[in-house]
Amino acid sequence: MSTEQILSSDGLPLEVSLRKAERKNKLKALFLVGPLFLFLIITYVFPIGDMLFRSIDDRKITKMLPNTFTAIEKWDGQNLPGEPVYAALYEDLAYLKKTKTYGKIIARLNYEKGGFSSLIKKTVRKLGKFEDGNYKEQFINVHKRWGQPEYLVALKNAAPNWTYAKYLKGVDLKFDQNGDIVQQPEDRRIHKILWLRTLKVAFWVTIFCFILAYPISYLLATLPMKYSNLLMICVLLPFWTSLLVRTSSWMVLLQQQGPINDLIVMLGLAANDNRPELMYNVIGTFVAMTQILLPFMVLPLYSVMKTISPSLMRAGKSLGGTPFVAFRKIYFPLTVPGIGAGSLLVFILAIGYYITPALVGGASGSLISNTIAYHMKSSLDWSFAAALGTMLLVGVLTIYWIYNKLVGIDNIKLG
């Protein structure tokens, strides 16, 4: 590249005048994109960011027990802490009692360790009878748990402004008394099972969708227009029906006295009093999710197959390849971008699927998103729900990244 600057005829550097000439167009483009950009920021970036933030944010409790946490920071966590910690605790609790806001710390401390609920309630009730000085003894007299180091360790663990404890909980780990990361007790390890089940269901749903969608897409791409349009409507029709309606109709079909079970009994595959359970378990989840996600596999496959010229298969055959060889060596490799796009789409949608497993999945067919919903609506542990959601998001991005490394995202074709 030459270092000499090229000038336009009015003496300005060429680059400057080019920028000037294009400024108007750029502004116009920005103006057109603006609404969508704002919409995305308000409805997507902001709430998602807030959610991610919530999963590690632990400042609420820090603000409510400021003196306690400052004092407890100096404690080594081995023997019982000294008088200053208890004094600070008294000060904080007295304030919370006066403002009647102590209820809020109970839930938070209870996540840390069970038993805090009764401990705090009893202590606050007796707080009026406390005398100045020697708070440590008075606390232990009110409730013996104040003399047990593990409760004070739990208190200390709740002290930092930021925590990743929720993420540990998401993979069945926790901090022990010493602040080391250990596994949850065996009977409380439920999230790992859920993660694995979610991955398994998403994987198999993707496989089933692929097996069903490939021939359909082939037909769609090769049939004459008047038949392929009809078939396309058949593929899209369920797509236009409400998700809830479709899932509920699967409930009608799959129930124990439903038509599919009737058919199985009629064919003699099962006794009438021993009808197989097709719903409220993982089978129901598989069947309904495969049907619902099928169009997401059909459409990318179809759009890729549509671009494959029929003369390629003919060329393969005329060059001596049997129809099978021509398919395997020519047609199939050319559909790989479509398979990749469809599988990625179906897998990512399946991994976060919620309504269908909630309705037809039962206990053994519920997925990680159902747990997230449970923590959002029932247990109200929003920060844990946020942590699970974040892990799901990271998982999806990881899959996307791996796919990009293996196949290359440029090879994806959606149409």
Partner 1 sequence: MAKNKEFVKFDNVDKSYDGKILVVKGLNLDIEEGEFVTMLGPSGSGKTTCLMMLAGFETPTHGEIYLDGKVISNIPPHKRGIGMVFQNYALFPHMTVYENLAFPLRVRKIPKDEADKKIDKALSMVSLHGFEARMPMQLSGGQQQRVAVARSLVFDPQVVLMDEPLGALDKNLRESMQYEIKHIHESIGVTVVYVTHDQTEALTMSNRIAVFNDGKVQQLSSPDELYEKPVNSFVAEFIGENNKFLGQVSDISGDKCKVKLEDGTEILANPVAVKAKGDKTKVSLRPERAIIDPTDKMDNNHKGKIEEIIYHGDHTRLRVDLLGNKDFILKVPNSTARLDLKKGNVLNIGWNSIDCRALDPK
Instruction: Give the E-state strand segments of 54-197 in sequence order.
Output: 173-175, 181-183
Contact status: 328 vs partner 1 (CB under 8 A) = no
- What track of x and - describes contact with partner 1 for positions 115 through 154 (by CB under 8 A)? ----------------------------------------
Closest approach, Cβ 409 to partner 1, in A, equals: 18
Q: Does 66 bind partner 1 (CB under 8 A)?
A: no
- 329 counts as binding partner 1 under rule CB under 8 A: yes
**Closest C-alpha among 353, 362, 309, 359 to residue 331:** 309
> Rule CB under 8 A: is residue 319 a binding residue for partner 1?
yes
Please give the Cα distance from 336 to 313 (Å, whole number): 16
Give 272's DSSP letter.
G
Q: Which of 309, 363, 377, 378 binds partner 1 (CB under 8 A)?
A: 309
Interaction between residue 316 and partner 1 (CB under 8 A):
yes
* Segment interacting with partner 1 (CB under 8 A) among 166-174, 180-188, 227-235, 314-322: 314-322
How far apart, in whole angstroms, are the C-alpha atoms of residue 372 and residue 370? Answer: 5
Q: Which is nearer to partner 1, 82 or 408 (CB)?
A: 408
Point out which span in 176-184, 226-234, 329-337, 340-348 binds partner 1 (CB under 8 A).
329-337
Beta bridge partners of 162: 57
> By C-beta, is 128 or 224 nearer to partner 1?
224
By CB under 8 A, tell whether 340 contacts partner 1. no
Return all residues near 75 (Cβ < 8 A) that are at least 6 apart. 81, 82, 85, 152, 156
Does 325 bind partner 1 (CB under 8 A)? Our answer is yes
Name the minimum Å distance from CB 317 to partner 1.
4
Residues 251-290: x where in contact with partner 1 by CB under 8 A, - otherwise, as a string: ----------------------------------------
How far is CA 322 from its chain centroid?
46
Catalogue the long-range contacts made by 220-223 (C-beta closer than 8 Å, 24 or more residues apart): 220/298, 220/302, 220/305, 221/302, 221/305, 221/306, 221/308, 222/305, 222/310
For 397, the token pair is 């991005």
Q: Which is nearer to partner 1, 284 or 316 (CB)?
A: 316
Cβ closest to partner 1, residue 301 vs residue 387: 301
Nearest 10 degrees: Cα torsion 297, 303, 308, 309:
140
Q: How many residues touch partner 1 (CB under 8 A)?
A: 19
* Bridge partners, 7 (sequence order): 13
The residue behind tokens 């409510």 is 64
Q: Which of 118, 141, 241, 318 binds partner 1 (CB under 8 A)?
A: 318
Least separation in angstroms between CB 228 and partner 1: 18
The DSSP code sequence of 97-110 is: HHHT-THHHHHHHH
Under the rule (CB under 8 A), what is the footprint of partner 1? 309, 311-312, 314-323, 325-326, 329-330, 333-334
